[in-house]
Amino acid sequence: MNNRELFLKHVAQTSLSPIGLEIVKAEGVYLYDASGKKYLDLIGGISVCNTGHRHPKVIEAIKKQADEYLHVLVYGEFIQSPQVQYAMLLAQHLPPSLDSVYFTNSGAEAVEGAMKLAKRATNRTQIIAFNHAYHGSTQGALSIIGDEYWRNAFRPLLPDILHLEHNSFQSLESISEKSACVIAETVQAEKGVYPAAPAWLKALRKKCTETGTLLILDEIQTGFGRTGMLWNFEQHEMVPDVLLLGKALGGGMPLGAFITDRNLMLKLTENPVLGHITTFGGHPMSCTAGLASMKILLEQDWIKQVAEKERLFCSLCIHPKIQAVRSSGLLIAIELDSVETNKKIIEACLGYGLLTDWFLFAPNCLRIAPPLIITPDEIKNACRLILQAMDDC
pLDDT digits (tens, 9 = 90+) for 217-246: 999 999 999 999 999 999 998 999 999 999
Closest CA to 105 of 278, 285, 224: 278
Query: What's the confidence (pLDDT) of residue 11?
Result: 86
Domain residue extents for the chain: 3-54+301-392, 57-299
Query: What's the confidence (pLDDT) of residue 371?
Result: 98
Which stretches does DSSP call E strand in 285-375? 324-327, 332-335, 354-355, 357-359, 362-368
Query: What's the confidence (pLDDT) of residue 132?
Result: 97
Query: What's the confidence (pLDDT) of residue 9?
Result: 83
Confidence (pTM): 0.97
Question: Could you say which of 3.40.720.10, 3.40.640.10, 3.50.50.60, 3.40.50.2300 is the CATH number of the domain covering 57-299?
Answer: 3.40.640.10
Query: What's the confidence (pLDDT) of residue 249?
Result: 98
Say yes or no: domain 3-54+301-392 is CATH 3.90.1150.10.
Answer: yes
Q: Which stretches of the chain drop beneath a pLDDT of 70?
A: none
Q: Can you spell out the DSSP letters for 175-219?
A: --TTEEEEEEESEETTTTSEEPPHHHHHHHHHHHHHHT-EEEEE-
How high is the mean pLDDT of the chain? 96
